[in-house]
Structure 1
Amino acid sequence: METWLPHPHSRPKLLVVDDQPINVRVLHELFREDFDVFMATSGEQAITVCQAQQPDLILLDVVMEGMDGHEVCRRLKADPATQDIPIIFITAQQQESEELLGLELGAVDFISKPINPVIVKARVRTHLTLKLQSDLLRTMALMDGLTGVANRRKFDEDISADWRVCLREQKPLSLILADVDFFKRYNDRYGHQAGDGCLRAVAQALAETVRRPYDLVARYGGEEFACVLPNTDLSGAVEIATRMQAGVRALDIEHSASDVDRVVTISLGVATLTPSADLEFQALIEAADKQLYEAKSAGRGRVCSSSMAPS
């Protein structure tokens, strides 16, 4: 599952792009002690590395054979997945018009060759600090303040993005919707502070169930949670939902007002769909919500599931 702080346990990622290997090696030596340095010697390779590695900063040569640095910048800024990565152009060109063009394309800085190691390090450090501060602010904006998992806005962003990826790759996308059983009764019996503590514990139990970095657990609203599972078929999603159900029961949180058990339980609806061009991701949400309704109607404290065949 995603962590909710930028680089909590890892070094920042730096991508160096230059079609001259000697320049790449110089910059690699300059930064390898403090960064995980990735290298590309063409514009096409740079875009591929960016999409795969999501670097925190790019040092990009302007003049390259084939796709030049300006075109690389245009393409990266046009892609929502890479548009927020800061780019510093490095070039031997000294014209003011060149610098202006780079800034207009979205670069954050412009460094002239031959490079001065002290200046390059200082500028990289400055822009990296700004990037990490921006990442932290964005992370906080996408976090549920009570439970610490993702909020509804983050869920909406991720399921939309995952839908597009699974549509392109024709892979299954699964969604789990989970609801705390008889939560209003829990609040009435134990008080709202205890209710908040219950939601935090349930959220943590759900988050600990998923293991891949691109799986997402989010608070969907009130006592309802969602889990987005890209490239996961129905049997895999049901297995995760079953582990979630067991994990919440294992918390052993007393709930004497429940009709299901003496402890807090959850009902879960699971749906899987391989996206098609004539559907939107809302179809998957509706399917999972229908399965959640079935789980509640059947007595709560259980998993109901459905696989939707693309039309």
Structure 2
Amino acid sequence: MNVVESQKVLIADDDAVNRDVLGDLLKPEYTVLLARNGVQTLERAMRHAPDLILLDVMMPDMDGYEVLRQLRADPQTAQIAVIFISGLDRPEDEANGLKMGASDYIVKPFNPTVVMARVALHLQVVRQRRMLERLANIDGLTELANRRRFDEMYALEWQRARRTGRPLSLALLDIDAFKQYNDRYGHPAGDRALRSVARVAGAAMRRPADLAARYGGEELVLLMPETEAHDARMVAAAMCEAVAQLMIAHEASSVAPVLTVSVGGATLTADSIEQQYELFESADAQLYRAKQAGRNRIAWRGDAS
């Protein structure tokens, strides 16, 4: 399935004929969702996150202007593209819709060719915007999330942990003797080794909310929401073993003949500390502890080892 076919269009119109005509027009190329009033539109926008909404202005319970206002007021729906389709054909009506944040305005009775062309145009813009957003959040070397993305997700998960009272686990991973590796094998080889470790870290993050990111240099960070210390430590241990099993020769290392990593982690509930940075500082302290103990090991807040 290509990208265009997977995009979702929500058609919101109280007139069943209009819904059917637009739906039949768009279904060959897009996933079509239907809503017959403002309340359904808001509910389905929240639930299905459509790429585009074709929104009738005149609906009985809540007009399209109010629907658009509520969409823009909610962070979950604020970025959804909206095209007004309306029988109101005065220039001031169109100007009002565009000022409120609509992407376009189509006057009824609509021309099917025009509707298809404008839908395709705005969905292309959506695809391009999302591609740029993705690139802005990806580290170019490792293809993991970058520092910016990690900071955003960490702040969100911290707030969620405070609401739910569930634990939040965070681990910092550092490649052992990486400077010596670069000195011995060269920076291109160092980049390849870092990418290999990054692939292992990314594969270890199996749940949708888990995140592996490059924090800086050869340091990676793992974010594991709603994960108890024992489970998070097991994930880290499996990852360390997987890195060693890559069997990347490291003759300049005093730790092992192959590339290894050290991990420091912490698991805390959000109400046990006052500020979100304290969890990160705790994991960083544990990483220092792992390095001081000889590297190629894990230290976790609360561990006796």
Note the alpha carbon deviations across 1:82-108, whole angstroms, 9 max, x for none.
Answer: 332211122222232222222112111
Which of these residues, 87, 105, 108, is aligned with residue 110 of structure 1? 105
AA of the residue aligned to 2:253: S
Mapped partners of 2:4, 2:136: distance in 1 = 21
Q: Does 1:167 align with 2:159?
A: no
Which residue in 1 is equivalent to 2:301?
A: 306
- Please state how far the C-alpha of 1:254 moved relative to its aligned partner: 0.8
Mapped partners of 2:90, 2:188: distance in 1 = 63
CA 1:95–1:171: 2 relative to 1, 3 Å: farther
CA 1:21–1:207: 2 relative to 1, 3 Å: farther
Kindly indicate whether the alpha-carbon contact (under 8 Å) linking 2:5 and 2:29 is maintained by their aligned counterparts in 1: no
AA of the residue aligned to 2:132: L
Mapped partners of 2:26, 2:88: distance in 1 = 23
AA of the residue aligned to 1:250: Q
Q: Does 1:197 align with 2:197?
A: no
- Please state how far the C-alpha of 1:288 moved relative to its aligned partner: 2.1
- Please state how far the C-alpha of 1:276 moved relative to its aligned partner: 4.5
Which of these residues, 214, 217, 224, is aligned with residue 229 of structure 1? 224
Moved more, 280-289 or 17-26: 17-26
Q: Does 1:133 align with 2:128?
A: yes
Kindly indicate whether the alpha-carbon contact (under 8 Å) linking 1:167 and 1:277 is maintained by their aligned counterparts in 2: no
AA of the residue aligned to 2:283: A
Unaligned runs of 5+ in 2: none
Kindly indicate whether the alpha-carbon contact (under 8 Å) linking 1:256 and 1:263 is maintained by their aligned counterparts in 2: yes
SS in 1 for 2:247: coil
Moved more, 263-272 or 73-82: 73-82
Q: Radius of gyration: which is bigger?
A: 2
Which residue in 2 is equivalent to 1:49?
A: 44
RMSD: 2.6
Mapped partners of 2:100, 2:192: distance in 1 = 48
Please give the TM-score of this superposition, normalised by the length of structure 1. Answer: 0.85
After the TM superposition, which segments of 4 or more aligned residues of structure 1 sit over 6 Å from their partners? 7-10
Mapped partners of 1:122, 1:8: distance in 2 = 17
Mapped partners of 2:3, 2:25: distance in 1 = 23
AA of the residue aligned to 1:303: I
Which of these residues, 3, 8, 16, is aligned with residue 13 of structure 1? 8
- Please state how far the C-alpha of 1:267 moved relative to its aligned partner: 1.4
Note the alpha carbon deviations across 1:5-44, whole angstroms, 9 max, x for none.
Answer: xx86971222233344554343333222322233334444
Mapped partners of 2:10, 2:226: distance in 1 = 28
CA 1:251–1:281: 2 relative to 1, 3 Å: same
CA 1:202–1:47: 2 relative to 1, 3 Å: farther
CA 1:277–1:175: 2 relative to 1, 3 Å: closer
SS in 1 for 2:222: strand
Moved more, 76-85 or 99-108: 76-85
Which of these residues, 82, 85, 102, is aligned with residue 80 of structure 2? 85
Task: Return the structure number with greater relative CO, CA threshold 8 A, min gap 6.
Answer: 1
- Please state how far the C-alpha of 1:117 moved relative to its aligned partner: 2.1
SS in 1 for 2:227: coil
Which residue in 2 is equivalent to 1:295?
A: 290
Mapped partners of 1:16, 1:238: distance in 2 = 47
Please give the TM-score of this superposition, normalised by the length of structure 2. Answer: 0.87
CA 1:174–1:255: 2 relative to 1, 3 Å: same
Which residue in 2 is equivalent to 1:61?
A: 56
Q: Matches of residues 209-248 of structure 1 in structure 2 within 5 Å? A: 209-248=204-243
SS in 2 for 1:202: helix
Percent same amino acid among aligned pairs?
A: 46
Kindly indicate whether the alpha-carbon contact (under 8 Å) linking 2:87 and 2:107 is maintained by their aligned counterparts in 1: yes
Unaligned runs of 5+ in 1: 1-6
